[in-house]
Amino acid sequence: MKCDETDLRKPPKVANPGSGRSAQAVMRLRCQQCAVRIGSLCGALPNEVLQELSRVALRRRVRAGQLVSGGHQRAKVFAVIVSGVVKIVNAKPDGRQQIVGLQFPSDFVGAQSIGKAELSTEAATDLDLCWFSGPDFTALLRDNTVIQQALLARVVGDLDAAREWMFVLGRKSAQERVASLLLMVARRSAEAGLTGKLTMPLSRTEMADYLCLRLETVSRQIAQLQSRSIIATEGRRLFTVLDMEALVHASECSPE
């Protein structure tokens, strides 16, 4: 397996929260009626802390393909995803790159060390973020043990998810990997209340980057799942799961 050199891509434009605020629809957010509060960092917080949170939380929209953090900007980013999908990208200096994680609505963005790891976070789709400035979030963390504990729990959860994904990359066949990804997106969509057709947040190239396959292989496996009548596709990003049981079987994932 000689490593594939994904072309050096032009670096995505940086979405800078400091400039053009009005244009970017930055505004106060009332946390109490937030769509993703349950299940997110903020879910565990009592109302008085939530009041405090409301004061420093900003709503921000980011377009698909834009950089959320990482790259050459040093400022650390802290945000809860309200809608959309974020990909965490590990880009090697030689141009090889890999998607090492996906974050869905209610997930937290900003738990990467700013150290030597070449991680950056990019918007896979258009995003709606609940955003905290570095100093604000640090202060919040310092003053509220509850938030600290919630953050720790979330990072431990991410760690578990990463280790689960290591199993996918190390031990599963191409077919099982593609099925696992479809299943994961299906389950996260279901959590968000969406049933029926599901929208794949990634392009074929991105799917390949995430599954550590070539995009040709991804394409072939999707075709095969279709020919087995396990899924159906419309266009490039719309999928329908025809036989959930068979998909679970094909993914070798636990039935949940």
**Interface positions with a copy of itself (CB under 8 A):** 1-4, 88, 90, 92-93, 96, 98, 100-101, 111-113, 115-117, 119, 142, 145, 148-149, 151-153, 155-160, 162-167, 169-174, 212, 252, 254
* Under rule CB under 7 A, residue 64 binds DNA: no
Residue 11 Cβ vs a copy of itself, minimum distance, rounded to whole Å: 20
* 3 lies in the binding site for DNA (CB under 7 A): yes
Quickly count: other Cβ atoms within 10 Å of residue 247's Cβ.
20
Task: With contacts defined by CB under 7 A, name the span among 72-80, 112-120, 168-176, 191-199 that binds DNA.
Answer: 168-176
13 counts as binding DNA under rule CB under 7 A: no
- The answer to the question of residue 73 lying near DNA (CB under 7 A) is no
- 169 lies in the site for DNA, by CB under 7 A: no
Which residues, 122 to 151, sit near DNA by CB under 7 A? Answer: none
Among residues 173, 199, 229, 240, the one that binds DNA under rule CB under 7 A: 173
Contacts 24+ apart (CB under 8 A), 1-10: 3/96, 4/96, 4/214, 5/94, 5/95, 5/96, 6/95, 6/96, 6/97, 6/205, 6/209, 7/95, 8/95
Least distance (Å) between residue 61 CB and a copy of itself? 27
Contact between 175 and DNA per CB under 7 A: yes
Nearer to a copy of itself, 6 or 54 (CB): 6
Residues contacting DNA: total by CB under 7 A: 25
Residue 217 contact among DNA, a copy of itself, none, beta carbon within 5 to 8 Å by kind? DNA
**Using CB under 7 A, which of the segments 79-87, 181-189, 214-222, 245-253 binds DNA?**
214-222
3-class SS letters over the chain: CCCCCCCCCCCCCECCCCCCCHHHCCEECCHHHCCCCCCCHHHHCCHHHHHHHHHHCEEEEECCCCEEECCCCCCCCEEEEEECCEEEEEECCCCCEEEEEEECCCCEECCCCCCCCCEEEEECCCEEEEEECHHHHHHHHHHCHHHHHHHHHHHHHHHHHHHHHHHHHHHCCHHHHHHHHHHHHHHHHHHCCCCCCEECCCCHHHHHHHHCCCHHHHHHHHHHHHHCCCEEEECCCEEEECCHHHHHHHHCCCCC
Site for DNA in 221-240 (CB under 7 A): 222-223, 233, 235-237
In the complex, least distance from residue 159 CB atom to a copy of itself, rounded to whole angstroms: 5
Q: Which does 203 bind (CB under 5 to 8 A by kind): a copy of itself, DNA, none?
A: DNA
Residue 34 or residue 218: which is nearer to a copy of itself going by CB?
218
